[in-house]
Structure 1
């Protein structure tokens, strides 16, 4: 059974992912179409910007880990950075494969790739590894 707080956490995480993802996607298209960067480089740059937005929202609203201890913040930032590197790599590779092998426009390929990466890679790692709390602090799961 799902607990109400777990459902709300998931929904808040989706809002955070949407805002970070929207920033990421719009910036990717802007860098590719206006500044003529290859979409792989655009995904790298826009992914970092979107990740900063996503991390901030996740930390202070979704998972409410407003810990004042620098070591905790540094640990979360390091773990989040690893997730972001994996995410950007998967998004770049997936978009490239869909574009080169299946001739799908990079904008559409990116949306397809994002849906798999977001739910199958980002969310589980962010929830259960980056912002994991011990059960005494967060008994909702």
Structure 2
């Protein structure tokens, strides 16, 4: 049975991911179509911008993890950066596979890849590793 708080947190995280994702996706298209960068480089740049937005929303709204300790935020930023690095790598590789192997337009391949990466990689790591608080470590949600 799902806890209401867990469902609410999941939905909030999806809003954060959506906002960061829309900016990420729009910037990827802008950089690829207007500035003629290869989509893999566009994903790297746009993913970084989207990640900064996503981190901020997750930290202050979703997980309400506003500890004033600089070492705490440094730890979160480091962990989040590792998640983002993995996420961007998976998104770039997945989009490339859809485009090269299956001849699917990079914009569609990116959307397909994003759905798997967001739910299967980003959300669990962000919730249970990046923004995990000491009081949550003893409780299984």
Normalised by the size of structure 1, how large is the TM-score? 0.96
| CA positional deviation for 1:140 | 8.1
SS at match of 1:135: helix
| CA positional deviation for 1:136 | 6.1
Partner of 1:106: 106
Cα-Cα RMSD? 1.5
Structure 1: segments with no counterpart, 5+ residues: none
Partner of 1:132: 132
Distance in 2 (CA, whole Å) between partners of 1:128 and 1:140 is 10
Does residue 51 in structure 1 map to residue 21 in structure 2? no
Aligned residues of 1:79 and 1:130 also touching (Cα < 8 A)? yes
Structure 2: segments with no counterpart, 5+ residues: none
Partner of 2:118: 118
Distance in 2 (CA, whole Å) between partners of 1:33 and 1:26 is 10
SS at match of 1:2: coil
Total equivalences in the alignment:
141
Distance in 2 (CA, whole Å) between partners of 1:122 and 1:27 is 20
SS at match of 2:101: helix
Dislocated runs of 4+, deviation >3 Å: 136-140
Normalised by the size of structure 2, how large is the TM-score? 0.96
| CA positional deviation for 1:9 | 0.3
| CA positional deviation for 1:135 | 2.8
